[in-house]
């Protein structure tokens, strides 16, 4: 069992960070940061993926580096494996349908089966966290970033299928991260490109955007990702990622969420890239438990220094720091004890007939519904 009390200040800051890196082997950048800080996690993107055996070996190496570091705490190894256009694992893996196709079936059982097969394939590789499901309601049809990533425009349907996907992933031993709280479906701008704005009264958010997240919290979802979106009815100054009103007062206190709050990529243009160290501090103050920086060009040295200084000066209170890291370690003790390893023997079953049959059934049922 890992404990908060045994960590140095640097190792505590390390647990606040989930980092991306370049290459199909652990880069010198990620090796150094794991060794020096014992990172909370790493995130894999297309640049890290070649073929299944390589991915499994990569995950095994990363986990060994973490366990050999002074903190000896395993990594969350995360990936965006949603389905449709947002998948990182392609060649050699089961081809996944869009969530809109799954939504068209309306089937909780198929959603569970899909989540379970995704979780099995991730687990065989040594990946233990999926940045999915999307719990956004596709309420704005011209939305450039959500669209068919969502199950549909019915909040109750999104809640049911999102919960089923999560249950399937969890059953396979993979931690699901619901996103993007409190909802990215009613925007006209992609937060990768700028800061979207949602001008909707609180009553409207309660009746639509918040419905799947309230259901997720009631169902004990253990991790959520907020949106880089400004919600004027909730906080007219800060986007959700930086908002104490949204992350602490609404999510934690009003809705009762007790799990991990993982930021979306801080290198997206919705965040002011010239002020990232300051924004990292602000995000942790607001309620972010783990900060995601998806590329090696992130100013990580400056971010770490800003976080260390904020803790020393109590700009980030000791209670807030301990809450963030305590939540992370609690989940690691549950999900990563013992640390999951790649199952090389099972790699032969990636994209197997049973998995492809689930996808075939989803696609057939979706076509019948649309027709």
Catalytic residue (choose from 130, 136, 264, 265): 264
Beta-strand ranges (E) seen in 90-136 are: 129-130
The token duo for 236 is 């007219």
Instruction: Please state the separation of Cα 104 from the chain's center in Å.
Output: 24
SS3 assignment, position 44? strand
What is the distance between the alpha carbons of residues 131 and 359, in angstroms, rounded to a whole number? 20
Catalytic residue (choose from 50, 153, 190, 192): 192
The C-alpha angle 299, 51, 293, rounded to 5 degrees, equals 15
Cα atoms in the Cβ-side hemisphere of radius 13 Å centred on 259: 21
The token duo for 24 is 């199909």
What is the distance between the alpha carbons of residues 334 and 325, in angstroms, rounded to a whole number? 14
* Rounded alpha-carbon distances, angstroms, from residue 61 to 2, 50, 54, 126, 293: 20, 15, 10, 10, 20
Hey, how many other C-beta atoms are within 10 angstroms of the C-beta on 272?
10
**Cβ(209)–Cβ(181) below 8 Å:** no
- Annotated active-site residue 264? The verdict is yes
| Residues facing residue 178 across a β-bridge | 224
- Annotated active-site residue 154? The verdict is no
**Cβ(231)–Cβ(204) below 8 Å:** no
Active site positions, annotated: 192, 264
């Amino acid at each position: 069992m890992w404990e908060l009390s045994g960590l140095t200040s640097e190792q505590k800051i390390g647990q606040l960070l989930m980092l991306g890196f370049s290459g199909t082997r652990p880069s010198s950048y990620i090796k150094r940061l794991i060794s020096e800080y014992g990172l909370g996690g790493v995130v894999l993107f297309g640049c890290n993926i070649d073929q299944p055996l390589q991915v499994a070996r990569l995950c095994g190496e990363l986990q060994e580096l973490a366990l050999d570091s002074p903190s000896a705490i395993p990594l969350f190894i995360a990936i965006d494996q949603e389905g449709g256009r947002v998948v990182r694992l392609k060649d050699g893996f089961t081809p996944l349908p869009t969530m809109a196709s799954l939504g068209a079936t309306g089937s909780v059982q198929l959603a569970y089966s899909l989540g379970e097969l995704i979780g099995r394939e991730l687990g065989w590789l040594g990946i233990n966290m999926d940045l999915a499901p999307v719990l956004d309601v596709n309420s704005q049809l011209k939305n450039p970033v959500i669209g068919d990533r969502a199950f549909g425009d019915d909040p109750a349907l999104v809640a049911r299928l999102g919960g089923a996907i999560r249950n399937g992933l969890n059953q396979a031993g993979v931690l699901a991260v619901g996103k993007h709280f409190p909802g990215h479906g009613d925007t006209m701008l992609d937060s990768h490109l700028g800061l979207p704005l949602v001008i909707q009264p609180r009553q409207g958010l309660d009746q639509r955007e918040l419905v799947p997240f309230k259901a997720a919290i009631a169902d004990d979802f253990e991790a959520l990702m907020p949106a880089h979106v400004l919600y004027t009815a909730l906080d007219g100054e800060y986007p959700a990622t930086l908002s104490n009103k949204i992350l602490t007062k609404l999510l934690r206190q009003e809705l009762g969420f007790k799990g991990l709050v993982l930021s979306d990529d801080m290198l997206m243009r919705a965040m002011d890239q010239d002020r990232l160290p300051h924004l990292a501090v602000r995000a942790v103050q607001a309620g972010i438990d783990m900060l995601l920086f998806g590329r090696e060009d992130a100013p990580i040295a400056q971010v770490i220094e800003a976080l260390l200084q904020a803790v020393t000066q109590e700009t980030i209170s000791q209670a807030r720091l301990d809450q963030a890291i305590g939540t992370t370690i609690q989940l690691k003790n549950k999900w990563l004890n013992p640390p999951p390893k790649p199952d090389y023997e099972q790699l032969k079953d990636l994209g197997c007939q049973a998995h492809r049959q689930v996808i075939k059934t989803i696609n057939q049922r979706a076509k019948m519904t649309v027709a």
